[in-house]
Structures are given as C-alpha cells and as structure tokens.
C-alpha cells in the first residue's frame, strides 16, 4: 500500500497530498523568459494574470524574476538587485490581491529571505540547494516549505538519469532536514529539462513513480518546455496539447502538483485524471 504523505501547510492553505493534483500557476517577471511571457515590472499586468489564474483554479502562484532558459547567464548569487526589483513589489501586491499562497522561484537565500518577508510562503529552488544551501536555513527559520529540483546543468549525465536524479534529490533533502526544515515541508521535482536530453526527460516521465521512494510529494514542471517542442516540432506558445498529455501521464505516474502557464485547461485535465486515478469525482 502506498504511504500516505503528511499534509503540507503553505500560508493559510493546507496541501493534502493524495486527495487531488494541485496546480501551480507560473508568473515570469524576467523579460527574457524562454516562453515569451515575461511581464517585467508591470505590476498591474502581474496582478491581472494572477487573478485570472486563481479564477481558473490555480492553487498557488509561483513568481520568478530570473530567466532559467538554456544559455542564459545566471545572476550573481550575491548581486541580485534586479531580481529583487522585479519580485518584491510583485509579491507585496499579490499577497494583498489574491487568495492563494505565493511561491518565490529562486535559488538564492538573500532573495528568498526578502521574498518571504514580503509575504511569500514557499521557496521553489531550481538548484535543489546545490548552489546556496542557505536557502534551507531561510526556509527553516521562516517555517515555510521548500521545493527541491534536480538540476543537471552543471554536469549533464550521459547514463543513469534516474539514479542521478534520486541521488541529487536525496542530497538536497538531507541538507534541508539538517537545516531544520520539517520532513513534511519538502517537495521534490525531477527537473524536466535542466541538463537532461530528450530521451532522459522521457525516461523520467515514464519512471516518475520511482521518486516516491524519497517519501515526498512530487512536483512536475513540463509546461512549454523544449522536450514537448522537440517531439511535436512546435514553438513554446503552441505546446499546450503536448503539455496536457504529459500532465495526465505525470498524474498517472504519481505527480502531486503540476507547474503550468495554462491554468484553465490544466485544471480540467487534473480533475478528469484525478477522477480516474485517485477515484475522486469530476463534480457537477
């Protein structure tokens, strides 16, 4: 029998894993976002997008201020004025304007600390604490959950992708728990893309359930990514159907939360998939 995971408190929301698939809406503030949806410092557009996503069924909004597309030069870990300039005003407005928790997408402890002070209630670390272990201490001190992603851009593996992902995530979990993050406040993400080949990404999707051995909820983020574009030969803004297919497969293989740009159709796919896989109900 599959182990029942403890609920995770995020702000005023409790994620009760196993009852449904939760949807994380993506808000990119970096102007050079890979999918062309960067909002920059347009606060009104950011608030409007977040409201729309919540109306469409998003359970949480993830705000990021640095592009992570392949080929970009990372912002210095100690010089993040531009990132803060984008995310802090946005988070301050969003926590006052929307009813769901706000997540900060960053791998820098300095940005994470400021974002939590502004009202964010979850840290989404695309480097799984490898770049800045201090993120774990920030999360522990604030009592917020953290998402750890397996990122292979620093050393793309040629073979054994599942073993590498499991090893990286286990190392991140160890850092987080030793820093004082409660075990129930850690979510894992296989990191589709991020240094992995097409075949490795497809293998991870097929073997996603193996991440359950870590004893953590699983976040799946495939929205508009190049894996879908390569298979379907389509640009980022035409990859919706491919991502909906991947979302359903991911739920069947154990995903507990999905991170997406297109909330409304994803929510419908999640509801239908949950009705079959979790033996829930579709509703009226």
Say if CB 217 and CB 17 are below 8 A apart.
Answer: yes
The CA-to-CA distance between both ends of the chain, in Å, stands at 31
Asked about 225 being catalytic, the answer comes back as: yes
Asked about 196 being catalytic, the answer comes back as: no
CA angle in degrees (0–180, nearest 5) for 46-51-52: 100
Given the residues 130, 225, 238, 279, the one annotated as active site:
225
Say if CB 212 and CB 2 are below 8 A apart.
Answer: yes
CA nearest neighbour of 119 among 12, 261, 40, 8: 12
Question: Tokens 């850092």 map to which residue?
Answer: 175
Q: Which of helix, strand or coil describes residue 93?
A: helix
Look up residue 47 and give its two tokens. Answer: 């608030």
CA nearest neighbour of 46 among 91, 103, 85: 91
Q: Which of helix, strand or coil describes residue 14?
A: strand
Given the residues 130, 137, 224, 259, the one annotated as active site:
259
Rounded distance, CA 18 to CA 5, Å? 8
Say if CB 38 and CB 273 are below 8 A apart.
Answer: no
Q: Which of helix, strand or coil describes residue 49?
A: helix
Say if CB 176 and CB 141 are below 8 A apart.
Answer: no
Which are the catalytic amino acids? 225, 259
């Amino acid at each position: 029998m599959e182990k029942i995971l403890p609920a995770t408190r995020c702000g005023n929301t409790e994620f009760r894993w196993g009852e449904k698939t939760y949807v994380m809406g993506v808000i990119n503030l970096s102007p050079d976002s890979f999918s062309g949806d960067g909002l920059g410092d347009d606060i009104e557009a950011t608030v409007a997008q977040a409201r729309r996503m919540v109306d469409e069924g998003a359970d949480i909004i993830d705000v990021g201020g640095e592009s992570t597309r392949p080929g970009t030069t990372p912002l210095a870990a100690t010089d993040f004025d531009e990132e803060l300039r984008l995310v802090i005003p946005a988070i301050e407005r969003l926590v006052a304007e929307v009813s769901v928790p706000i997540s900060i997408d960053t791998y820098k402890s300095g940005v994470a600390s400021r974002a939590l002070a502004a009202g964010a209630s979850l840290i989404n670390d695309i480097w799984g604490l490898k770049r800045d272990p201090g993120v774990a201490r920030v999360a522990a001190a604030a009592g917020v959950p953290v998402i750890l992603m397996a990122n292979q851009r620093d050393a793309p593996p040629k073979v054994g992708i599942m073993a590498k992902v499991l090893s990286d995530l286990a190392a991140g979990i160890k850092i987080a728990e030793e820093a004082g993050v409660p075990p129930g406040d850690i979510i894992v993400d296989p990191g589709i893309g991020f240094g992995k080949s097409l075949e490795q990404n497809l293998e991870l999707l097929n073997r996603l359930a193996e991440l359950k051995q870590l004893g953590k909820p699983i976040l799946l983020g495939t929205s508009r990514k190049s894996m879908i574009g390569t298979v379907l030969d389509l640009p980022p803004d035409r990859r919706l159907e491919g991502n909906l297919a991947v979302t359903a497969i991911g739920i069947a293989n154990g995903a507990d939360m999905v991170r997406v740009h297109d909330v409304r159709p994803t929510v419908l796919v999640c509801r239908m998939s949950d009705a079959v896989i979790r033996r829930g109900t579709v509703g009226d």
